[in-house]
Amino acid sequence: MAVKFLSFLHKTLTQNPKSKSLYVSYFLNHTLSQDQYDPPFSLTKKPKPKNTTEPKETPDPNNDPKLPVKSDLAFDFRYSYSESNPAIEPIGYREPKRFSPFGPGRLDRKWTGTAAPTQLETDMDKLMEERNRVLGDPLTEEEVAELVERYRHSDCSRQINLGKGGVTHNMLDDIHNHWKRAEAVRIKCLGVPTLDMDNVCFHLEDKSGGKVVYRNINILLLYRGRNYDPENRPVIPLMLWKPYAPIYPKLVKNVADGLTFEETKEMRNRGLNSLPLMKLTRNGVYVNVVDRVRDAFETEEVVRLDCKHVGMSDCKKIGVKLKDLVPCVPILFKDEQIILWRGKRNQELESSTA
């Protein structure tokens, strides 16, 4: 077989080069085996290298020696401080109380469904003394003007957006993170919290320990203090998720207090057929809504607010705030419309004289 192959190869190499392609194809067709069990060559698999490294063990977060986190802050932890009222007790919960938004075993406080109350007895006089020490001497007008010029612009990198959640717990950590490299932080407020900017300013100062040195409509400038030390900032454990809102008593009654069923029905129809006092937009600025409603109640008994595209959830939050701020009585939420009744005049006179 080897002799025949060599003679055939000699003949192919000594032929006319013009017909070399024919001989090459003939050579390939007759030398390659046609048997499927005897291929001309076979691929050999490369041996896989053995993994000699041992798999890394993932650390168990529950066995972290730094847990549970202990905080010396003297107030109860809540998801939102400005948009919740501790005086109103919920009538139900949408999730079990054992599910703490701080995570299992990550906080030394017990979650009650709405808050994580502090377990330490704090001396308020000592706390205020420490806060005044951090703030230091009040800023002069020149220093305030310099801070305002530095942070008041819309393209400021030290800005925090405050939305419908209000002053939330995790926002406090964001404020202190900005205070590491900046003297002040710009806070832009939008949505429902802008109805009561005084409440927003109070909780920002009370929970963070800073000072609001500038306020223009919905823009705030929160100053950290002259003697602020980022290395000694308070420990603020973060919430890992937003807890479900509890169930509160019904806001609108079937029959308003001081009216009969027919009178309540008439007031609702009159409000729906009246012209809207204002048109509110989603995540807008509502700083003048309270004053506008108070002025309207001087001449009108029922007022309608057009909250189209705002959302029914925000409509109810707006109604709750207006009930306490104006004050008034919400009698209907329908098709993103808020109908407010000013209440009995004699009741208002009695309350004012008292």
How high is the pLDDT of residue 119?
A: 83
Q: In whole angstroms, what separates CA 258 from the centre of its chain? A: 40
| Predicted TM-score of the model (pTM) | 0.77
Q: Picking from 3-17, 207-221, 294-308, which range would have the lowest pLDDT averaged per residue?
A: 3-17
CA angle 91, 93, 99 (to 5 degrees): 145
Amino acid at 89: E
How high is the pLDDT of residue 354?
A: 47
- 185-214 pLDDT per residue, tens: 999 999 999 999 999 999 999 999 999 999
3-state secondary structure of 331: strand
How high is the pLDDT of residue 59?
A: 57
- 54-100 pLDDT per residue, tens: 666 555 555 566 778 888 888 999 999 999 999 888 999 999 988 89
- 108-156 pLDDT per residue, tens: 899 999 999 988 787 888 889 999 999 999 999 999 999 999 988 877 8
Residue 41, phi then psi, degrees to nearest 5: -155, 165
Length of the chain: 354
Q: In whole angstroms, what separates CA 318 from the centre of its chain? A: 19
Choose between 74 and 351: higher pLDDT. 74
Residue 182 · residue 150 · CB < 8 Å: no
- 309-324 pLDDT per residue, tens: 898 999 999 999 999 9
Residue 198, phi then psi, degrees to nearest 5: -60, -40
